[in-house]
A and B are shown apart, each in its own frame.
Chain A
Amino acid sequence: MLRKLIKYDLLWINRVMVYYYALTIVLSVLMRIAENFTGSVMGDIVYGILRGFVIAAFANVIINAAIRIWVRFTQNHYKDEAYLTHTLPATKAQLFDSKAISALISTLTAVAVVIVCFFIAFWNNDIYTYFHNLVEYGNAAPIIAGIFITSLLEVLYIVIVGLFGIVVGHRSNNGRMLRSIIIGMVLYFALQCILLAAIYAAGSFDDSIKAMFSNNPQNSIGLDSYRTLIIISDVIYVAINTGLYFGAKKLFQKGVNVD
C-alpha cells in the first residue's frame, strides 16, 4: 500500500518539477557553452544574462519542490482530495509516511539537480582552488561534500518544518492555512536559533569557531573547525528533522478534520 501511495505522490510532485529540472539543465549547459564566447561585448552580455537565469533556476527548483510537497500534503489530506485519500484502505501512518518519503525523494532529486547543474555551469579550477585555499591544506573534497550534505539537510528541514506547521495548523477549525504558515515560520526561526546557539557553544571549545562571531571566518577558520561546524550542524539538523517527523506523524495519526 505504501509503495502505491508513494508512486502517486511522486507522480503528482514531479509532473511539473521535471520541466523545471529540464530547464535548469538546459540553462546550465548553455551557460557553460556561452563561457567560451566571453571576451566580446555580446559574449559577456549573453553570459551574464545566462548566469542570472541559472542562479534563478537553482532557487526555483528548490523553492518549487518544497511548495509542491506542501501543496500535495495539504490538498491530499485536508481539501477535496482528502475525501478519497482518507477512505483508501491505508493507515494514517502509511498516509503520512508516503508524503514524508516522497518529500525526501523529491528534495534529494531537487538538490541533486542543483548540484549537477552547479558543476555543469560553474565548476572550474578557480572554484576548486578557492575551496582548497579556504581549508588551508589537505583535500577539499570532503569539505565540499559536507557542505552539500548540510545544504540537503537544511532544505529537508525547511520542508519538514512546513509539513509540521500544516499538521498543527489544520488541527484548528478556523484560519487553518494562516495558522500553518505562522507555526511553520515561528518554528523555523526558533530551531535556527537553537542551531546558532549550539555553534556558539562549540566556540567555547574551539577558538576559530568563536572567531566566526567576531571576525571574518574566511581568514580565521581552519579545516578542523570546518569539520566541527559541519558535524554540529548535521547532527542538529538530523535530530531536529527526526523530531519534527515523529512529532508531526504522531499528531497526524490522532486523526484529521477535513475541510
Chain B
Amino acid sequence: MATLLECKHLCKKFDQKVVLDDVSLKIDKGKIIGLLGKNGAGKSTLIKLINDLLTIDSGKILFKGKPIGVNSKSHISYLPERTYLDKTMTIAQAFKMFSEFYSDFDAERAHKLLEDLDLDESMKIAKMSKGMQEKLQLILVMSRDADLYILDEPLGGVDPATRDHILDTILSNFKEGSSVIISTHLISDVERILDDVIFIDKGQVVLTGSADKLRAKHKSSINDIFRSMFDAKKTH
C-alpha cells in the first residue's frame, strides 16, 4: 500500500526535556489511524511537527515522499485542540476565508454540515460557546477534500452524547481514499472506526499495527490492550 506520510527518527526537545525520542512511523493511504496515548505522551507534539507548527530537532517528515511544506499543507486538513479562528469573524466569513485559501474546500458540504450541526452562518464566532466553535472547526476541516485529515483530540471537549455524532460526521465526510489520523486518549469512543493504531508513550512509539490483528492477537479490545500496557508499565 502506498505511503502517504512518513516520519523518520523524529526527535524534539523543549529545553532539556525530551518530548519525542526517535519516532519513526508510516501512514498508508486509505486508513483511519488512531494515535493513542495518555495525556503528555507526545501525541500533540508529533502532530504539531507534521503540521509545521514546531521546529524539528532531528529527523525527517515526508509527505508523498517530499519534505513538508506548501504542498503538504495543501493536502492536509488539520483540526487542532485549540480554537484557532479570528473571533471577530462570522461563520460565513470563515467559510469565505477557507474558500479563498484552500482550493479543495467544498462550500456546499460545509453548508450542509452547518445545518446538520444546528449552526447558523450569520453567527459571530465570538458569541459562540467553545463547543460550538469546535463544531465549526470540525465542519471547516471536514469540508476539505484533503488526502490526510489530522484530528487532534476531536472528542476532547465534547459530551459523551455528542461524541458519536462527531465520529459519524468524520466518517461520512472524509474523501474516499484519503487517510485520517485521530489523536485521542478516549480510546473506547473511537475504537470502532479504527483500521490501524499507533500507541505512543513517553515520546516513543511503543506499538503499531492493524486494530483487527491486535484485537485477535490479544483477544481483547484496543482499549483493554492500552490499559494493560500502561497499567503494567506503572507497576514496574
Binding site for B on A (CB under 8 A): 1, 4, 8, 12, 15, 80-84, 86-91, 173-174, 254-258
| Contact A87/B53 with A15-B88, A80-B83, A81-B86 known, Cβ cut-off 8 Å | yes
Binary flags per residue of B53-83, CB closer than 8 Å to A gives 1, else 0? 1111000000000000111011010101011
- Give CA–CA (A87, B53) in the complex, Å: 8
Residues in chain B near residue A258, CB distance under 8 A: 48, 53-54
Query: Which chain B residue shows the least CB distance to A254?
Result: B55
Structural contact, A257 and B55, CB atoms closer than 8 A? yes
Interface size on B, residues (CB 8 A): 27
B70 with A90: CB separation less than 8 A = yes
Residues of A within 8 A of B102 (CB): 89
Select from chain B the residue with minimum beta-carbon distance to A7: B100
Tell me if B82 and A88 are in contact (CB < 8 A).
Answer: no
Q: What residues make up the interface of B, taking CB atoms closer than 8 Å to A? A: 14-15, 48, 51-56, 69-71, 73-74, 76, 78, 80, 82-86, 88, 97, 100-102
Q: Can you report 12 A-B residue pairs in the complex whose CB atoms are below 8 A from each other?
A: A82-B53, A82-B84, A83-B82, A89-B70, A89-B71, A90-B70, A90-B73, A255-B52, A255-B54, A255-B55, A256-B54, A256-B55
List residues of chain A with CB within 8 A of the CB of B71.
89
Q: Is the CB of A4 within 8 A of B84?
A: no
Q: Is the CB of A91 within 8 A of B70?
A: yes
- Say whether, besides A80-B82, A80-B84, A174-B15, A87 and B51 are in contact (CB < 8 Å): yes
Assess whether B73 is in contact with A87, with CB atoms less than 8 Å apart: yes
Known: A87-B73, A88-B73, A89-B73. A12 touches B86 (CB 8 A): yes
Inter-chain CA distance A81–B85, complex, in Å, is 6
Residues on A with beta carbons closer than 8 Å to the beta carbon of B86: 12, 81
On chain B, the residues within 8 Å of A254 by CB distance are: 55
Q: Looking at A15, A87, A174, A254, which has the most chain B CB atoms within 10 Å of its CB?
A: A87
Closest 3 CB pairs of A and B: A255-B55, A83-B84, A83-B80
Cβ–Cβ < 8 Å partners of B51 in chain A: 83, 86-87
CA–CA, A8 to B88, complex, Å?
12
